[in-house]
Amino acid sequence: MILSMLLGYVASGLMVGTQAVPSPVNSHASGHEPAGHEWQKPGPFDSRAPCPGLNSLANHGWLPRHGKNITYDDIKYAAYHGYNYTEDVYEIFYILATQVFTNISTTGNASTFNLEDLARHNTIEQDGSLSRNDIYFGDNLHFSAPVWEPVAEDLGLKGYAANDSYVTIETAAKAYLARQEAAQAANPAFTVSFTQRNGTRGTTALYLATLWDYGAKAAPKAWVDTFFTEERIPYLEGYTTPKHKNTDFIHELFVAIEELVGFD
């Protein structure tokens, strides 16, 4: 079930309330980056994915900073230390990258992949990404400010009030829908299959899960902004490795989003 939900995209038990109750849970405090895992911009020969979550792990050296020849152990180490995902979650990424899409790897070893291998269109990468343009426009790998800006606006990341500093599930669902509509309107070759639609919804569930503030039942706007625009884990904005998160948790968020955006 979770595998089918995540099929078609790159890249996360508690009750998920759909009404966020913002609480001052240290979300905006200034924090410290873990020693040896400070954020660094990737170098010109480093490999990066179309996925801010994996890129952030590489930019902090939780994944090898070069982003190449990524192994199962690399993913396991990074997803645990960076995001505290349980093994059932990162197993999926590895299976997707090395077994389901057997031919995306360009390393010469089918058990490993380079982060940029994940940009192969319609295997893992697909149209309607929140922060990447569609392949039709030439580049589906790098962050696109023109794609992201309207999404950021819909998420309310610009000039928000102190009492409105969280991205709720409702807001994230609306932003997801608006981006799908914009991508479809702009791209004459836009295609998202039924399975892939679960994938794009899955990416929304995944970034929320990754940046989830358990106290507020929502994701701090400051964290979401940093994560997408800088591909940086928002330690400086108060992120600390949360208690562990498993596929059930991501699935709960996924279902909550699906209920809001419809099943068509």
Ligand X SMILES: *[C@@H]1O[C@H](CO)[C@@H](O)[C@H](O)[C@H]1NC(C)=O
* Residue range at the interface with ligand X (CB under 6 A); choices 128-136, 137-145, 205-213, 239-247: 239-247
Closest CA to 100 of 76, 67, 124, 79: 124
Select the span of 10-18, 27-35, 98-106, 126-134 touching ligand X (CB under 6 A): 98-106
Cβ contact 119:125 at 8 Å? yes
Determine, following the binding rule CB under 6 A, whether residue 26 of this chain makes contact with ligand X.
Answer: no
**Cβ-contact 74, 107 below 8 angstroms:** no
What is the Cα–Cα distance from 87 to 175, expressed in whole angstroms? Answer: 30
Q: What is the DSSP string of 28-81?
A: TS---PPTT----PPPTT----S-HHHHHHHHTTSS-TT--SB-HHHHHHHHHH
Q: Which is nearer to ligand X, 145 or 161 (CB)?
A: 161
Residue of 26, 40, 99, 241 interacting with ligand X (CB under 6 A): 241
Among residues 23, 106, 111, 229, the one that binds ligand X under rule CB under 6 A:
111
Q: Give the residue ranges of DSSP H helices in the chain.
A: 2-6, 52-59, 72-83, 87-95, 145-154, 169-186, 194-210, 221-229, 247-261
103 is a contact residue toward ligand X (CB under 6 A) = yes
Q: Is 165 in the site for ligand X (CB under 6 A)?
A: no
Beta carbon of residue 44, minimum distance to ligand X (angstroms, whole number)? 14
- Per-position x/- string for 47-66, each x denoting binding to ligand X as judged by CB under 6 A, each - no binding: -------------------x
Among 102, 142, 153, 215, binds ligand X (CB under 6 A): 102
* Touching ligand X, residues 189-208 (CB under 6 A): 194-195, 198
CB-CB contact of 1 with 195 (8 Å): no
By CB under 6 A, tell whether 243 contacts ligand X.
yes
- Rounded CA-CA distance 34/121 in Å is 35
- Residues making contact with ligand X (CB under 6 A): 1, 4-5, 66, 68-69, 71, 80-81, 84, 101-103, 107-109, 111-112, 123, 161, 163-164, 194-195, 198, 241, 243-244
